[in-house]
Amino acid sequence: MNYEILHRLNSILFTSSRIVFFTGAGVSTESGIPDFRSASGIYNEKLGYEVSPEEMVSHSYYVRYPKEFFDFYKKKLIYPEAEPNACHKAIARLEEMGKCSAVVTQNIDGLHQKAGSKNVYELHGSVQRNYCERCHTFYDADYVLKADGIPMCAKSGCGGRVKPDVVLYEESLNEDVVEGAVQAIREADTLVIGGTSLVVYPAAGLIRYFHGKNLVLINKSETSQDRRADLVIHENIGEVMAEVMKQMTDETTK
């Protein structure tokens, strides 16, 4: 790992007061959650289904084939044993220190909140939230996982289907979440983009609202925004953030 680059990142974070982290699947792969598009991701698995994973998590497939949808969803999109990794914990610590103002994430696993982050904009929703389509009663991920087949509302006299609060293909992003994310990015002095190749739109397009001082990109592979960034690090984001936080802690305790 290039310690000169790490020192530059440390300096940027140390001197910033309104950092926004924009995170993608690469942040959660270190917690054992596979992404969709890498060589080992869900899209490239031989799943034994006759349709693509992308089609299986579409709104139309959910409506037409709910049993098959939930079979895939429970097996491939909910990871109850996953725990926050060094990156999640570092971001939460920076918020605690008053430096990180928000997290904007494409992930649906809820690990940022589990690590302690409070101000999180989940662009694609969360597997941790599920609602009855008829009476809007809330259910957690465990209820969906334990349901026999299609999860149904347990409220007396309802019997509605319980839908995950995730943005399926063919569905629009939540306007309030997008507006909050845009506002946070606009007000940021530093934007750190981590663990995403920035190919998923419209979420990836939100970074155009950043006009702050420092744009940092941390991703194993190149992205379309590398040339625009003030600092680019092609390393494992968990290792990078763990080392930077160690340096920052050492400096503050001197």
Q: List, as one string, the DSSP characters of 202-227.
A: TGGGGGGG--SSEEEEE-SS--TTGG
Crossing angle of helices 86-96 and 237-252, in 10° steps, is 40
Strands 190-194 and 214-218, by their bridges, are: parallel
Residue from 59, 124, 136, 211 carrying the catalytic annotation: 124
| Helix H or strand E segment including 37 | none
Residue 124 designated active-site: yes
Determine whether 172 is exposed, middle or buried from the number of CB atoms within 10 Å of its CB (0-12, 13-18, 19+): exposed
Nearest to 116 by CA among 127, 131, 100: 100
Q: Which residues are catalytic?
A: 124
